[in-house]
Amino acid sequence: MTDTVPPAVESVVVVEGLSKVFRGPPEVAALRPCSFRVGAGEFVAITGPSGSGKTTLLSLLGLLDTPSSGRYLLDGVDVAGLSDNDRAGVRARQIGFVFQAFHLIGYRTVLENVELGLLYHGTAKAVRRERALEVIERVGLSGRMHGLCSQLSGGEKQRVAIARTLIRRPSLVLCDEPTGNLDTVNSDAILTTLEELHAEGMTVVVITHDAGVAARAQRNLQIRDGVLSETVGVG
């Protein structure tokens, strides 16, 4: 059921003819069939105007939604053959998300939100706590550890979200406009952290419509009206 690509290819993401049509009404072809690969350890930016299908693509890559057509191999596994529980397992073990809207649990503390990154790994509570403290330290929020997430600033929230992904050590980090709601100083801090993750060997895919963010990626993909095209990398 699962196809394996030759290990020599070393692609984390292999997409062939992947598309998404939202069955309306009205019917929206959010993503036209597209094909591309993301190699292990790459830092890729996907840019495009609002409504062009960026979030749709990222949701497919993150197994948050199912494609209307096409094939998607993640770490060599065709995800079409996975059960819902297996998809949850892949999300838990291999993928990290950073959302534009942060999606923290507002009534829980910073520490608890970061620990959530490992909750569905079945990791022992003590280990979760220990590693959460480490990554919170790393994003510079040790002082706010016991504060409620609902009371943080936007920049702080996104740092919590990054820490929540960091703690998982995922092979693929998917970021949907991680700096969309932040000022330049905070944006820069977040990007720096993403660059560090990349440097540590994680594969990072960032969606943005900020050219400055795209410029810091190794490789740029562009999407316009649901059509994906590769542009020459700037960085």
Partner 1 sequence: MSVERSRLTWRDTISEAVAAITQRPVRTLLTALGTILGVGAFVATSGLAETARAQVSSRFDALKATEVRIQDAAPDGTNPFPDDVAARLERLNGINHAGLYYTVADSGSLQPRTTAARPVNSGAAVPVIAAQPGAILAALPVLQVGRIYDDFHETRGERVALIGRAAAAQLGVARVDNQPVVFIGDIAYTIIGIIDDVQRNPDLLLSIVIPASAAERDLQASGANYLVLIDTAPGAAQLAGRQAPLALRPDHPERLQALVPPDPKRLRNQISGDVTSLFLALSGLALLIGTVAIANATLLNVIERRAEIGLRRAFGAKRSHIRRQITIEAALVGTAAGITGASLGLLGVVATAASRGWTTTINPTTILAAPLIGLVTGTIAGLIPAIRASRTPPAETLRA
Ligand X SMILES: Nc1ncnc2c1ncn2[C@@H]1O[C@H](COP(=O)(O)OP(=O)(O)OP(=O)(O)O)[C@@H](O)[C@H]1O
What residues make contact with ligand X under the rule CB under 6 A?
Answer: 22, 28, 30, 48, 50-56, 209
Contact call for residue 19 and partner 1 (CB under 8 A) = no
Kindly state the tokens that stand for 179.
């700096």
Nearer Cβ to ligand X, position 40 or 227?
227
Buried-exposed string 8-18: b where 16+ CB fall within 10 A, e elsewhere? eeebbbbbeeb
What element of type H or E holds 47? Answer: strand 43-47
Chain position carrying tokens 């801090």: 189
For 43, list phi and psi in degrees, rounded to 5.
Answer: -120, 105
Interaction partner, residue 50 (partner 1, Mg ion, ligand X, none; CB < 5-8 Å by kind): ligand X
Nearer to Mg ion, 11 or 55 (CB): 55
**Residue keyed to tokens 């060997």:** 201
Residue 55 vs residues 100, 112, 161, 174: alpha-carbon distances, Å: 10, 27, 17, 10
**Residue 53 interacts with which of ligand X, partner 1, Mg ion, none, CB < 5 to 8 Å by class:** ligand X
Pairing of strands 11-22, 28-39: antiparallel
Judged by CB under 8 A, the stretch of 6-14, 116-124, 202-210, 211-219 that binds partner 1 is 116-124
Give the shortest CB-108-to-ligand X separation in angstroms. Answer: 26
Q: Which of 8, 24, 26, 107 binds partner 1 (CB under 8 A)?
A: 107
Residues in CB range of 170: below 8 A, 6 or more apart: 93, 94, 95, 96, 202
DSSP 136: H
Structure-token match 């065709």, residue found: 78
**Is position 39 an interface residue for partner 1 (rule: CB under 8 A)?**
no
Q: What residues between 146 and 185 interact with partner 1 by CB under 8 A?
A: 164
Nearer to ligand X, 98 or 139 (CB): 98
Nearer to Mg ion, 111 or 205 (CB): 205
72 binds partner 1 (CB under 8 A): no
Residues that bind Mg ion (CB under 5 A): 55
Give the side-chain half-sphere CA count within 13 A for 121: 19
Q: Which of 43, 99, 194, 223 binds partner 1 (CB under 8 A)?
A: 99
| Site for partner 1 contains 32 (CB under 8 A) | no
Binding site for partner 1 (CB under 8 A): 2, 4, 55-56, 59, 62, 64-66, 76-77, 82, 84-86, 88-93, 97, 99, 101, 103, 105, 107-108, 112, 116-117, 119-122, 125, 164
